[in-house]
A = this chain, B = another copy of it.
Amino acid sequence: MLRTHNNGELRLSNVGQTVTLCGWVQRTRDKGGMIWVDLRDRFGITQLMLEEGQSSKEALATTRSLGREFVVSATGTVVERLSKNDKIPTGDVEVKIDTITILNPAKLPPFLIEDITDGGDDLRMKYRYLDLRRNPVRENLILRHKMAQQVRSYLDSQNFIEVETPVLIKSTPEGARDFVVPSRMNPGEFYALPQSPQTFKQLLMVSGFDRYFQIVKCFRDEDLRADRQPEFTQIDCEMSFVEQEDVLQLFEGLIRHLFKTIKGIDLPELTRMTYAHAMKYYGSDKPDIRFGMQFVELKSEEVDLTSGKGFPVFDGASTVVGINAKGCADYTRKQVDELTEFVKRPQIGAKGLVYLRCMADGSLKSSIDKFYSPEDLKTWAEAFGAEPGDLMLILCGEGDKARKQLNDLRLEMGNRLGLRDPEKFAAHWVIDFPLFEYGEEDDRWFAMHHPFTSPKPEDIQFLESGDFGKIRANAYDMVINGVEIGGGSIRIFQKDLQAKMFEALGFSDEEAKHQFGFLMDAFEYGAPPHGGLAFGFDRICSLFGGSDSIRDFIAFPKNNSGRDVMIDAPSSIDAKQMDELKIKTVL
């Protein structure tokens, strides 16, 4: 080793020892008679010290020539510091330097290598290898490493086997977002990169592996919204001879294990909420339940407190629904206008916002006073359980569309009221997802999860009767703080049921065979009941790290155009290479 210690380990107990340290120059302070150097590595910072008259001329000269981020090796004696630094673990000591060697000089980095840097996003991405030197970024990746170790440790203890499934697989006609890979040895043919190892993990159940997992890269060639990556990592799991309850229990155990071992938090047992409940009371299939503020319906299929009073906007809407922002009655006109602008943004698309204030004296004021009597407003306030000081925010529109808009407003109010502390964690399961969803554009039913998801036994009748919208699936998502971190389902393992499912999805026998042939074949040789789920590993890491961005938890992420700006990929390739692959580009 070129060092005797790293820069995080020297303590008072080392005083008097001769040590050699290596690392990067964080900063130097030259006070004429004394020079101090902060030497940094992954493990910490140690202060080096040289003294005019005591240290060698050579060492002094070398030290005076150091620039930021130079790589050096320094040998000297550990001494107790006169003025201790209690902010760093090595702050009680410094190293009085005898010799110092520049292992490698460094150009001045284009931004500060400090916890708070002056580098913008683009610059830091281009020089990602320098950004990774900063503590917060490195800490994120160390967190990721620890999370992966703990995931493996827990699943191993539960008899799961990690199996690597192939990366070069087969493209399916459905796989419009597959990345494909031309094969040189099989001209004109292509592999595809997996969007998930779904079929392979089901095959492993057919193989009797019983419990499988994998922390695995997956790929999707889709237009990237903020915080999506063309390659991402899943914790992929599958179990045999289980029912939904077993899967929920086991993976609730995983997430609680992670909270305990990584963050020292005893996460309470996860609550459960049906999809129908989540949509009705939160307008979202991944509600943030760190705070209440559940939806109250003023008009819906079940209730109508708004119609026939001459307010055409509410009369023309099927749904009028609102939230009670406790204690916000004193919001100014400007604040309410801001909220109105917020819901009218194109991303949300509401037409307007109606408010109802419950004043300190219990009186009610609304933006639509002229249509509704005080008695009308009182019935609303009662529905909201309004107390003096509360502000009701009300949207209208068509069913789930209006609810989704209100979901955005609810989350915004949660933010404004400080109800979404990233260091507080509320985890729950959303269950009983619909089996199908209707695609308006294509005018057909699609599998909400995937075509192998099993219906609830009591809803299979609707598969026969064609009431596809009524069928609930044995499908579940884990949601933490309003983020869906994982989801899965119990699979169909019976050939007959699978055939009915394909029929409902409008697949001919032939199409089903073409797309899923080898899996269908495999299922004929004795498929066990099985189910599983997959977690978004990047997402869990960012949640544990208290960040909204998965990019901060990926060593070398790509930007929104799918580019790695550091290595400049993708890029054009040689004509010769294309010739060998028997392809050409058509631009």
Taking beta carbons and an 8 Å cutoff, which residues of A are in contact with B? 1-3, 6, 22-24, 40-43, 69-71, 103-107, 109, 127-130, 132-133, 138, 141-142, 144-145, 148-149, 152, 156, 161-171, 173, 176, 178-193, 199-200, 203-204, 206-210, 217, 219, 221, 223-224, 230-231, 233, 240-243, 246, 493-494, 518, 522-529, 554-556, 558, 561-564, 566-574, 577, 579-587
- Whether A168 contacts B569 in the complex (CB less than 8 A), given A104-B493, A200-B556, A525-B107, comes out as yes
A-B contact pairs, 17 of them (CB 8 A): A1-B242, A23-B208, A41-B210, A69-B526, A129-B203, A130-B207, A141-B209, A164-B217, A164-B555, A166-B231, A168-B219, A168-B569, A170-B564, A179-B181, A182-B585, A183-B570, A188-B572
Residues A561 and B171 in contact, CB atoms below 8 Å apart = no
Q: B residues within 8 A CB of A188?
A: 572, 585, 587
Specify how many copies of this chain sit in the oligomer: 2
Q: A560's closest neighbor in chain B, by CB?
A: B185
Give which listed residue, B69, B166, B224, contacts A556 with CB less than 8 A: B166
Residues B162 and A145 in contact, CB atoms below 8 Å apart = yes
Residues A555 and B204 in contact, CB atoms below 8 Å apart = yes
- Whether A71 contacts B568 in the complex (CB less than 8 A), given A133-B208, A164-B555, A554-B164, comes out as no
Residues B221 and A169 in contact, CB atoms below 8 Å apart = no
Residues B570 and A189 in contact, CB atoms below 8 Å apart = yes
Residues B132 and A571 in contact, CB atoms below 8 Å apart = no
Of A24, A203, A224, A246, most buried by chain B (CB within 10 Å of CB) is A203
Of A40, A71, A129, A164, most buried by chain B (CB within 10 Å of CB) is A129
Q: A561's closest neighbor in chain B, by CB?
A: B185
Q: B residues within 8 A CB of A206?
A: 129
Q: A567's closest neighbor in chain B, by CB?
A: B170
CB distance from A235 to the nearest CB of B (A): 13
CB distance from A494 to the nearest CB of B (A): 7
Give which listed residue, B24, B167, B525, B570, contacts A190 with CB less than 8 A: B570
Give which listed residue, B2, B132, B178, B527, contacts A529 with CB less than 8 A: B2
Q: B residues within 8 A CB of A207?
A: 129-130, 132-133, 138
Q: B residues within 8 A CB of A523?
A: 104
When chains A and B are docked, how far (Å) is the Cα of A530 from the Cα of B175?
Answer: 42
- Whether A526 contacts B70 in the complex (CB less than 8 A), given A190-B573, A241-B1, comes out as yes
Q: A21's closest neighbor in chain B, by CB?
A: B241
Residues B526 and A24 in contact, CB atoms below 8 Å apart = yes
Residues B130 and A525 in contact, CB atoms below 8 Å apart = yes
Q: A223's closest neighbor in chain B, by CB?
A: B185
CB distance from A69 to the nearest CB of B (A): 4
Residues B168 and A231 in contact, CB atoms below 8 Å apart = yes
When chains A and B are docked, how far (Å) is the Cα of A564 from the Cα of B185?
Answer: 13
Q: A131's closest neighbor in chain B, by CB?
A: B207
Q: A20's closest neighbor in chain B, by CB?
A: B241
Give which listed residue, B138, B243, B526, B572, contacts A104 with CB less than 8 A: B526
Q: B residues within 8 A CB of A106?
A: 524-526
